[in-house]
Amino acid sequence: MIILALDSTAQVASVAICEDDKCLACCNLNNGNTHSETLLPTVEFLLRQLNLTTDDIDLFAISEGPGSFTGVRIGAATVKGLAFGTAKPCIGVSTLEALAYNLIGTDGLICPVMNARRKQVYTALFRCENGALTRLMPDSAIAIAELDEQLSAYDEAIRLCGDGYDITAPLLTHPILSVPYALRDQNAYSVAQVARRLFAEGKAMSDAELAPTYLRLSQAERERNEREKQRLER
């Protein structure tokens, strides 16, 4: 199975093309949030280098969120556009689960954290054992202090990953194991491998059914709701 996977949910934009669990090509760009300019050209470049077209892709995979509202939308729109008219299946993958997959070779607790602003993180908790992830916490948007409290239920150190690493690690009282910098950021290879498992579980969908996951309202929506609330209170 040839899988084309994308992740644009944070500052790093990542594109990977895999044949089952073999990575044929992968490109990670950490040059700022310019995904609308770089994501599609990167896809086209990798396809060209492998002498492939979108007709050769068996499964389109996307990191569906949570993450940057703009980045999530760009990624979903790009995959929808690539898959449109191909009748090929699509899979949306939790950004946090894909981040945890970066550490699939390390047994123990893995806690992906993404900067959600407003002193919060998008987070979840997984246990990795014998090369498989078991989810212990749903994807959530919570304060770092609340995350620290939830982690206190586990009497073992954790590994953090994600772009919230630097803001989260100093504020946790829970013991943390070191994670190499190269394994902390989004990686589309991980998206592809989580999508491959979901496909085997029969969770594929059409490009029309593919939808982003935000976990909370955008800043514009929050401000609009607040203005509406103030208007009603007058």
Q: Are residues 88 and 194 in the same domain?
A: yes
Residue 51 covered by a domain: yes
Q: Is 186 in contact with 7 (CB distance < 8 Å)?
A: yes
pLDDT tens sequence for the chain (234 residues): 999 999 999 999 999 999 999 999 999 999 876 899 999 999 999 999 999 999 999 999 999 999 999 999 999 999 999 999 899 999 999 999 999 999 998 999 999 999 998 889 999 999 999 999 999 999 999 999 999 999 999 999 999 999 999 999 999 999 999 999 999 999 999 999 999 999 999 999 999 999 999 986 544 444 444 555 455 555
Residue 234 covered by a domain: no
Q: Are residues 176 and 194 in the same domain?
A: no
Q: Are residues 83 and 64 in the same domain?
A: yes
Q: Are residues 109 and 167 in the same domain?
A: yes
Which CATH number do you get for residue 70?
3.30.420.40
Residue 232 covered by a domain: no
**What's the domain count of the chain?**
2
Burial annotation 102-129 (CB, 10 A radius, 16+ → b, else e): bbbeeeebbbbbbbbeeebbbbbbbbbe
The model carries a pTM of 0.91
Q: Are residues 152 and 68 in the same domain?
A: no
Q: Which long-range contacts (CB under 8 A, 24 or more apart) does 168-175 make?
A: 168/113, 168/121, 168/144, 171/144, 171/145, 172/144, 172/147, 172/148, 173/148, 174/148
Residue 83's domain comprises: 2-96+186-226
